[in-house]
């Protein structure tokens, strides 16, 4: 087993390595209708794995469904996919071999729910929604979250696939990680949607950092870190090394900057700059932010090259490369 120092170094390199690189162009978001009036539905989500998730979400949005249902059912597609090794079933385990999941969800009323370090449940996002809807709490953790999920009828299952187990067993031999650029082109899924009533909701779900310390919780289930929405303003989600997002409360920061008049693009760039200013070793990590304002304008920005996001609006699906900070 790696020493703690080695583990942390390995983890940070792994984080950078898990982010892919490709040709990069920034989208110029076009404005939709002004705030307060009916807006066209839109859904955006982090990474290429968001394409299929958005497709499901769009089915709901295009049938006048609620944004909350769209962001839940959208990310469930990725949670159930064993080939996606950063979310749900098939996710890479922690360094002791346990698949532990984090997820959060927020609706247009500002209601929020989350779970962290949840094991054995394929759809942590749905457990998070139940926490939001049927308990007086926001977050349930570990065994308590599992107990709650089982009480609510969720099925207990083994989330560690043979592929993930094999990779983990390989990793254990040296407990080292050689960073490989373009290893997967995704990490976590965060989703934001606006429905035909102009209401916004958000979701975020992940198996977290591969081979993390047992008990480590990332940004994804922390309301305001990995995800935040405010129906007066818009929403934001984060992906990448959660510790940096937690230290700067990134998604809340993005939404508050938009409240003060910044565009989504200006807001996500400022949130990345905050990390650059406050966290000395920021270059070792990747962070990506995605934001959506209530007019349907999108912002996306990351520390390193390689972050992209999926967008579904006006019956069209697209994958768009984000602009990034570390150039040259």
Catalytic residues: 188
- Which CB sits closer to ligand GLY, 244 or 298? 244
Whole-number minimum distance, CB 283 to ligand GLY, in Å?
Answer: 17
Residues that bind ligand GLY (CB under 6 A): 188, 206, 208-209, 218-220, 239-242
> Radius of gyration of the chain from Cα atoms?
18
Beta strands in the chain (DSSP E): 42-46, 101-106, 112-118, 139-141, 189-194, 200-206, 227-230, 234-240, 287-293, 298-302, 308-313, 316-321, 323-324
**Residue 237 CB, nearest approach to ligand GLY (Å):** 10
Question: How many Cβ atoms are within 10 Å of 119's Cβ, its own excluded?
Answer: 21
* Dihedral pair phi/psi, residue 151, rounded to 5°: -60, -30
Nearer to ligand GLY (CB atom), residue 219 or residue 321: 219
Number of helices (H) and strands (E) in the chain: give both, helices first: 9, 13
CB closer to ligand GLY, 209 vs 223: 209
CA–centroid distance for 41 within its chain: 20
- CA distance to 43, 51, 220, per residue, from 292 (Å): 9, 17, 17
- Rounded CA-CA distance 55/311 in Å is 9
In terms of CB distance, is 54 or 239 closer to ligand GLY? 239
């Amino acid at each position: 087993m790696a020493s703690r120092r080695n583990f942390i170094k390995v983890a940070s390199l792994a984080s950078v390595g898990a982010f892919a690189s490709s040709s990069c162009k920034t989208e110029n978001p076009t404005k939709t209708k002004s705030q307060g009036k009916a807006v066209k539905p839109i859904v955006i989500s982090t990474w290429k794995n968001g394409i299929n998730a958005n497709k499901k979400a769009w089915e709901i949005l295009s049938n006048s469904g609620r944004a909350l249902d769209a962001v839940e059912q959208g990310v469930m597609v990725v949670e159930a996919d064993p080939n996606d090794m950063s979310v749900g079933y098939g996710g890479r385990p922690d360094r002791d071999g346990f698949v532990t999941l984090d997820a959060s969800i927020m609706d247009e009323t500002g209601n929020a729910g989350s779970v962290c370090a949840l094991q054995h449940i394929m759809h942590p996002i749905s457990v998070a929604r139940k926490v939001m809807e049927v308990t007086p709490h926001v977050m349930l953790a570990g065994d308590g979250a599992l107990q709650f999920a089982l009480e609510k009828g969720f099925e207990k299952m083994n989330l560690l696939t043979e592929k993930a187990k094999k990779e983990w067993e390989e990793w254990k031999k040296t407990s080292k990680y050689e960073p490989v650029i373009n290893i997967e082109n995704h990490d976590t899924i965060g989703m934001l949607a606006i429905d035909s009533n102009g209401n916004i909701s958000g979701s975020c779900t992940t198996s977290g950092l591969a081979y993390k310390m047992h008990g480590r919780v990332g940004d994804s289930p922390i309301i305001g870190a990995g995800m935040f929405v405010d129906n007066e303003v818009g929403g934001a989600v984060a992906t990448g090394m959660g510790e940096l997002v937690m230290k700067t409360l990134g998604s809340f920061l993005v939404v508050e900057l938009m409240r003060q008049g910044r565009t989504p693009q200006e807001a996500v760039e400022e949130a990345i700059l905050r990390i650059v200013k406050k966290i000395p070793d920021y270059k070792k990590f990747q962070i990506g932010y995605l934001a959506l304002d209530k007019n349907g304008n999108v912002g996306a920005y990351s520390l390193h090259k390689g972050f992209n996001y999926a967008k579904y609006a006006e019956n069209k699906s697209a994958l768009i490369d984000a602009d990034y900070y570390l150039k040259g």
